[in-house]
Amino acid sequence: MKVIPVIVSTALIAACCAIILALNPVWIKTSLDEALSQYPEQTFIRKLGEQFNRPLAFKLKLNDLQPTDPTWLPLSRRLAQNDGETAFSLYQYFTRQHQNHQANVWFEHALQLNYPRAIEAQVLRFISQNDYPKAKSLIGKLDTNSETFFSLQLRLAIAAEQGDLVRDASMKLAQENPNHRLLGDVRQFAINDYWQQTNAVGFASPFKQNCANSVQFFAGSLANLRRLNFLFQSIQQDPFIAQEFCLYPPKYIPKSVLDCNNLTSARLQCSLRAISPYRQKSGVDYIGVLSDHGRANVNHGVLYLDRFDDVHVFKHELLHLIGFIDEYPLPKNHQVCQVNEFSAVANNIVVDSTPRSEFDSDTQARRQVLGKIPWGVLIKPTTPITQMVNGKRVLGTPEEFQDEVGLFNAQTCDQQARASFKPQHTWGAMRYNSLPLSHVYQQIYAMNAGEYAMKKFMVSSTLQPPKAAD
């Protein structure tokens, strides 16, 4: 009995609304929209809104649906004609479905409707493509007092290397939201500090006094600075690296000042003149640069990475700094293999001056070369360092001793007429980036700490001929 009055009331109200709509359509539409906004949970009002074809009523209905619901997509298409948020939602939906054409159609439509999130996404695309005029023009379509407006202005100013605008946009964004992530980046990466120092990298850094190997990285974009943060966090999971290196928070230097070659197929190199004064003031041991493209390497105390290098490549290059060298074949002209006598060239590699030096006995070989091997004290008296090959006694521990520390063939100097040897039979971090640095290699480093480390970065290093390790 209680249901009938409600049905009657609904019908009466609908009829009355229809009459009012005919007499004053604007009033009834406005009133319904206000009611829907204030009481979105009221089923009666929502049904009435749908009956009178109010977009907000259908938007509320859409919000209750999942993309898996068969009514979600047709309702979204209908609403998206005039609703930027729904159009952007369709762009995201089709992107997840890998339907790129449909995704682009709805993204462009969201842009035409001036939906802020679509504008933000397109501005970021333009910035990543270095198309700063288009980015600036599109930002102008946003509310000039909005948080999004100021954050995009700041991103553009950083990318376009406009120091005055960086400071101005930072202050305005701080007024809107002092806790904005972008402001945290500006502070952490010392972006404003660079411009306030009249384009000088002279800002101080809290270096630890007891750090064995300190490294200061620089990058010229927010994306690359954030990438460095990610790499730092990841590599701290390696106990050896965490113990041996102090990686200080990365700092900003404009891309134009770093002037990196950014050639995908070439060893990454940058201009370091702006960093040299910083090295003098800070006392940091090594410098690092992360740029867009180029092969990772170390060169005169500078470690170069590109934004595609992972944590394994990062670790490999750090190990170069402290005296480990590659165990895969080096280029033909690499100077590390140009030795005139049996020599240790790194913590993990010794090189013979000939393809195969011959000995009368293992005892003779031990007497002549054992003292020159960085891991010589780890080779047991019962582990031979020579073997018979084609009737001749030459350097190299036999395979039956492969679980021991000895002299095992490396590939380091394979492209030159010289034999190279490593401490262990199995391959490790200096052959394959993803493998860990073995306990034996860590022992060898501890016994020879600093002996084979790359020289610290010096002011004059940029003027010296190349000396690099990949």
- Per-residue pLDDT at 8: 46
Confidence of residue 17 (pLDDT cuts 50, 70, 90): low
Domain stop point among 172, 188, 204: 188
Residues forming a β-bridge with 420: 351
Query: Is residue 47 over pLDDT 70?
Result: no
φ, ψ at 414 (rounded to 5°): -60, -30
Same domain? For 220 and 269 the reply is yes
Residue 295 is given by DSSP the state: B
Do 177 and 219 fall into the same domain? no
Return the pLDDT at 103.
97
348 and 420 in a single domain? The answer is yes
Residues 125, 86, single domain; the answer is no
Residue 29 scores a pLDDT above 60: no
How many angstroms separate the CA atoms of 419 and 350, rounded?
Answer: 9
pLDDT over 60 at 53, yes or no:
yes
Residues 383 and 306 in one domain: no
The mean per-residue pLDDT over the stretch 119-126 comes to: 97
* pLDDT value of residue 354: 82
Nearest to 210 by CA among 276, 301, 285: 285
Q: Is 183's pLDDT higher than 70?
A: yes
In the prediction, which pLDDT does 52 show? Answer: 56
Measured CA to CA, the distance from residue 71 to residue 74 in angstroms comes to: 6
Predicted confidence band at 36 (pLDDT cuts at 50, 70, 90)? low
Domain stop point among 188, 203, 237 = 188
Between 7 and 428, the higher pLDDT residue: 428
* Mean pLDDT, rounded, for 358-385: 96
Q: What is the mean pLDDT of residues 380-399?
A: 96
For residue 169, the model assigns a pLDDT of: 95
| pLDDT score, position 455 | 86
pLDDT at 79: 85
Residue 200 lies in a domain: no
Region 155-163: what's the mean pLDDT?
Answer: 96
Q: Mark which of 154, 188, 222 sits at the end of a domain.
A: 188
Q: Are 223 and 191 in contact (CB under 8 A)?
A: no
Give the tens place of pLDDT for each residue, 75-115. Answer: 889 888 999 999 999 999 999 999 999 999 999 999 999 99
Are residue 310 and residue 361 in the same domain, yes or no?
no
Same domain, 8 and 88: yes
More confident residue, 309 or 210: 309
User: What is the chain's mean pLDDT, rounded?
Assistant: 86
Question: 293-347: per-residue pLDDT in tens?
Answer: 999 999 989 999 999 999 999 999 999 999 999 999 999 888 899 998 999 999 9
**Most confidently predicted of 4-13, 144-153, 282-291:** 144-153
β-bridge mates for residue 216, sequence order: 248, 287
On whether residue 104 sits in a domain, the answer given is no
- Name the burial class of residue 411, with classes exposed (0-12), middle (13-18) and buried (19+) by CB atoms within 10 angstroms of its CB: middle
Whether residue 313 is found in the same domain as residue 345 = no
Number of domains in the chain: 4
Write out pLDDT tens, residues 397-454: 999 999 999 999 999 999 988 999 999 999 999 999 999 999 999 999 999 988 999 9
Same domain, 245 and 317: yes
CATH number at residue 151: 1.25.40
The pLDDT tens digits for 93-102 are 999 999 999 9
pLDDT at 131 over 90: yes
Residue 276: predicted pLDDT: 73
Q: Residue 15, Cβ neighbours under 10 Å: how many? A: 10
- Mean pLDDT is lowest, of 14-28, 216-230, 346-360, 430-444, for 14-28
Residue 70 lies in a domain: yes
Domain annotation covers residue 41: yes
The residue ranking higher by pLDDT, 211 or 349, is 349
The answer to whether residues 63 and 149 belong to one domain is no
Q: So what's the pLDDT on residue 11? A: 56
Based on DSSP, count helices (H) and strands (E) in the chain, helices before strands. 20, 12
Tokens, residue 447: 């016994």
What is residue 37's predicted lDDT score, i.e. its pLDDT? 61
pLDDT at 24 over 50: no
Query: At what angle are helices 311-321 and 222-235 packed, to 10 degrees?
Result: 80
Using 50, 70 and 90 to split pLDDT, how confident is the model at 42? Answer: low
Q: Which long-range contacts (CB under 8 A, 24 or more apart) does 255-260 make?
A: 255/161, 255/220, 255/221, 255/291, 256/161, 256/220, 257/199, 257/220, 258/218, 258/219, 258/220, 258/289, 258/291, 260/289, 260/291, 260/292, 260/294
More confident position, 282 or 119 = 119
Could you tell me if 339 and 441 lie in one domain? yes
Amino acid at 166: V
Within-domain flag for 315: yes
- Find out whether 56 and 29 touch, Cβ atoms under 8 Å: no
Name the more confident of 236 and 354.
236
Above pLDDT 70, what percent of the chain? Answer: 80
> What pLDDT score does 262 carry?
94
Q: Is the pLDDT of residue 16 over 70?
A: no
Residue 205 is predicted with a pLDDT of: 55
Is there a contact between 284 and 456 (Cβ–Cβ < 8 Å)? no
CB of 399 within 8 A of CB of 384?
no
Helix residue ranges, H only, 113-264: 116-128, 132-139, 147-159, 163-176, 181-188, 191-196, 222-235, 239-244, 255-258
The overall pTM is greater than 0.85: no
pLDDT given for residue 460 in this prediction:
46
Sheet with 245-252, strands from edge to edge, namely 245-252, 213-219, 286-291, 302-306, 297-299, 468-469
Range of the domain at 136: 116-188
Let me know if residue 453 belongs to a domain. Answer: no
pLDDT at 59: 67
Domain membership flag for residue 69: yes
Residue 414 lies in a domain: yes
CA distances from 145 to 121, 127, 151, 178, 185 (A): 19, 21, 11, 15, 22
Residue 72 has pLDDT above 70, yes or no: yes
Do residue 81 and residue 156 come from a single domain?
no
